[in-house]
Amino acid sequence: QVTLKESGPVLVKPTETLTLTCTVSGFSLSEPRVGVSWIRQPPGKALEWLGHIFSDDDKSYNTSLKSRLTISKDTSKSQVVLTMTNMDPVDTATYFCSRMSYRGTYLFDYWGQGTLVTVSS
C-alpha cells in the first residue's frame, strides 16, 4: 500500500527558509521511472507544481520558483525533502507531495494528505 506523508512547520516567518519532509512507504525511492513531486495549493486556489526528483537523482523545478527551491532525497530513510528560501505571505499554502509514475507519461498517482504552511510574522 503506497502512502506519502508530509511533515514540517505549520508557521514560518517572512524571509525564513521552509523545510518540509515527505516520508513514503509502499514503494522505494530507488525504483526506476518513479519520482516524487512537490505541489502546493494556496487557500481557495489552484494546484501549482513546484518540482520533482527521480530515483537517478534527476531533478526539475518550476522555473518561476527555481532560485528558491531545492529538492533532495534520502533513499535509505524513504524521505524526500523540499526547501524553499525567503518565504513570503504569498507562499501560504497546503503543500502536497505526490508519487510520480510512468504510464506512457508521468502522472501523480498517489498523494500525501498535505500540510498547511502559513507565512506570517
Partner 1 sequence: QSVLTQPPSVSGAPGQRVTLSCTGSSSNIGAGYDVHWYQQVPGTAPKLLIYGNTNRPSGVPDRFSGSKSGTSASLAITGLQAEDEADYYCHSYDHSLEGYVFGSGTKLSVL
List residues near partner 1 by CB under 8 A: 37, 39, 46-49, 51-52, 60-63, 96, 103-109, 111-114
Please identify, using beta-carbon distances, which residue of 51 and 54 lies nearer to partner 1. 51
C-alpha cell at 58: 534527476
Contact 18, 3 (CB under 8 A): no
Least CB distance to partner 1 at residue 97 (A): 10
Least CB distance to partner 1 at residue 60 (A): 6
Please identify, using beta-carbon distances, which residue of 67 and 105 lies nearer to partner 1. 105
Least CB distance to partner 1 at residue 98 (A): 8
C-alpha cell at 117: 504552511
Least CB distance to partner 1 at residue 113 (A): 6
CA 39, CA 47: separation in Å to the nearest integer? 7
Please identify, using beta-carbon distances, which residue of 63 and 121 lies nearer to partner 1. 63
CA 117, CA 54: separation in Å to the nearest integer? 25
Q: What b/e readout covers 47-70, taking b as 16+ CB neighbours within 10 angstroms?
A: eeebbbbbbeeeeebbeeeeebbb
Q: Are strands 69-74 and 59-61 parallel, antiparallel or unpaired?
A: unpaired
Please identify, using beta-carbon distances, which residue of 11 and 107 lies nearer to partner 1. 107
